[in-house]
Amino acid sequence: MEKSGPVQRTVVLKPFIKLVKLLARAFYDDYTTKSDNQQKSARIDNRGIAVVVLDALTRRQWVREEDLAKELQLHAKQLRKIIRHFEEQKLIMRDHRKETAKGAKMYSVAVAATTDGRAEDKVKLHTHSYCCLDYPQIYDIVRIKVHRIKKKLKDELEDNNTVQEYVCPNCQRKYNALDALRLISMEDDSFHCENCNGELVVECNKLTSEELVDGDDNARRRRREKLKDMLQKMEVQLKPLMDQINRVKDLPVPEFGSLQAWEARATIAARENGELGPNDPLRSQGGYGSTPMPFLGETKVEVNLGEGKEDVKSKGGDSSLKVLPPWMIREGMNLTGEQRGEVRQEAKFEGGSGEASKLSDDKKSSMGNGDEKDLKDEYLKAYYAELLKQQELAAKLNQQESMAEVTPETQLATTSSDRQLGMKSKREEEDEEDVEWEEEAPASANGNYKVDLNVEAEASGGEEEEDDVDWEEG
């Protein structure tokens, strides 16, 4: 459960843990789970419990609340209350999941088989809650908390931009200065309540309410002094926290992601390390149900969803249509491009592997390379090496070759015609590309092909001229 190794990669957790610990001691030191009226009767003082919980959470990642309660020897309800408080404070991520306790399920099935009634409530899924510290959010929360405290104190110190509030002593109804126009009465120059016509009094600031009785000068001065004092004290007391915030500022924030994502990552990491036995704590914590079910299909499915996606995709392209080895390709076979192994290369382009750049660099050699990798046949390697030489020599005559390929006689020409065919299919596309990219290539070619292209070129040229004329006219 406390395995932080596999999930943590480069981010350093330490400073953030320290931040959380400081935060806990600064703001949640005197947090009690008891409400005020209970506290008088409560004999045990459980202040500081929140600090204990937060500290425990810094040593864990996602944890089931029941487990945490057990380890902290707290009552589950008590812990849940604290955790809910922290959730409201946005320090903690929570996740609730309905899970079957497998044993209970089987038991309930058995019960249903033997007796007719009362089976339904036994099948009930148990909701388990998980929680985890939300470090990125904690960082923001701490900062805004401190900022808000400072701003409140400063504003009150300077009485800045505060709309004065008034309260009716009789009916406790509250007004503010924006209501002033409605509240002035004709008889005297004070504000009166709309309900009971009682005279309103200025509501004093909550922070220093006990001192400010009637807002006279003396009290105001004392209040200011107190505020100043508070501000100074705060600066001093929060200094370690602020220092830690500044230290953490430029560090990458540890992020565990949602429960599902975290589980997926943790399981994969564990599997890579070969650690995931059936009794592995990760499994028992992350999987469905408290009892480990190593042969349960569903857990595996969930895991595969997480990260294996890309692999599945790229392999799927291959497996859907098998690439025929070149020696199997005979003349007259009606093959798709995929079967000739063309897609395979595209997939590699998509994958962005190292050879992709090579492929784009020089087409001819890359063609050779790609095929070499596909075919493990030594003989073919030698053949391609030779072919490459030939190609380099006959680089200018590319077009002729392609023409020759089109004519039926060359298809039967060599003894290893079958293999050459496999090559040809690739060469054809290569030549097509040449035609597209280099307009000079067709010029060197001969035969009807060349004529076609020239005609096209001329036609296009003519069109251009016509376009020019049009423009001039327009």
Partner 1 sequence: MFFHIVLERNMQLHPRFFGRNLRENLVSKLMKDVEGTCSGRHGFVVAITGIESVGKGLIRDGTGFVTFPVKYQCVVFRPFKGEILEAVVTLVNKMGFFAEAGPVQIFVSKHLIPDDMEFQAGDMPNYTTSDGSVKIQKECEVRLKIIGTRVDATEIFCVGTIKDDFLGVINDPAAA
Q: Tell the smallest beta-carbon distance from residue 6 to partner 1 (Å).
A: 53
Q: Which of 125, 171, 180, 459 forms a contact with partner 1 (CB under 8 A)?
A: 180
Least gap, CB of 178 to partner 1 (angstroms): 4
**Residue 216 exposed, middle or buried by CB count within 10 Å (0-12, 13-18, 19+):** exposed
Residues binding partner 1: number (CB under 8 A)? 19
**By C-beta, is 218 or 319 nearer to partner 1?**
218
Establish if 29 lies at the interface with partner 1 (CB under 8 A). no
Q: Does 448 bind partner 1 (CB under 8 A)?
A: no
472 in contact with partner 1 (CB under 8 A):
no
Which one of 163, 236, 395, 412 is in contact with partner 1 (CB under 8 A)? 163
* 52 is a contact residue toward partner 1 (CB under 8 A): no
CA atoms of 54 and 29, how far apart (whole Å): 11
CA distance 26 to 143: 13
Of 4, 170, 190, 460, the residue at the interface with partner 1 (CB under 8 A) is 190
Three-state DSSP class for 166?
strand
| Site mask for partner 1 (CB under 8 A), range 220-239, x = bound | x-------------------
Decide: is 197 part of the binding site for partner 1 (CB under 8 A): no
Q: Closest distance between partner 1 and the C-beta of residue 202, in Å?
A: 7
Query: Do 17 and 253 form a contact (C-beta atoms < 8 A)?
Result: no
| 163 vs 301 by CB, closer to partner 1 | 163
155 or 386: whose CB is closer to partner 1? 155
Instruction: Please choose, out of 23-31, 213-221, 290-298, 307-315, the segment that lies near partner 1 by the rule CB under 8 A.
Output: 213-221
**Binding of residue 177 to partner 1 (CB under 8 A):** yes
Contact call for residue 393 and partner 1 (CB under 8 A):
no
Say which residues have a Cβ less than 8 Å from residue 421's Cβ, sequence separation at least 6: 326, 329, 330, 331, 411
List, in sequence order, every beta strand (DSSP E) within 34-141.
63-64, 92-99, 126-133
d(C-alpha 367, C-alpha 96), whole Å? 54
Number of C-beta neighbours around residue 222 at 10 A: 13
* Least distance between partner 1 and beta carbon 233 (Å): 24
Apex CA 315: angle with CA 313 and CA 318, to 5°? 115
Instruction: Say if residue 112 is exposed, middle or buried (CB neighbours under 10 Å; 0-12, 13-18, 19+).
Output: middle
CB of 153 or CB of 268, closer to partner 1:
153
CB of 148 to partner 1, least distance (A): 19
Residues 331-350 that bind partner 1 (CB under 8 A): none
What is the total residue count of the chain?
474
From first CA to last CA, the distance across the chain in angstroms is: 79
Q: Rule CB under 8 A: say whether 175 interacts with partner 1.
A: no
Return phi, psi of residue 20, to 5°. Answer: -65, -40
CB of 196 to partner 1, least distance (A): 18
15: nearest Cα among 252, 256, 258: 252
Place of tokens 């004999």: 43
Nearer to partner 1, 35 or 161 (CB): 161
Report the interface residues with partner 1, using CB under 8 A: 159, 161-164, 176-181, 184, 189-191, 202, 215, 217, 220
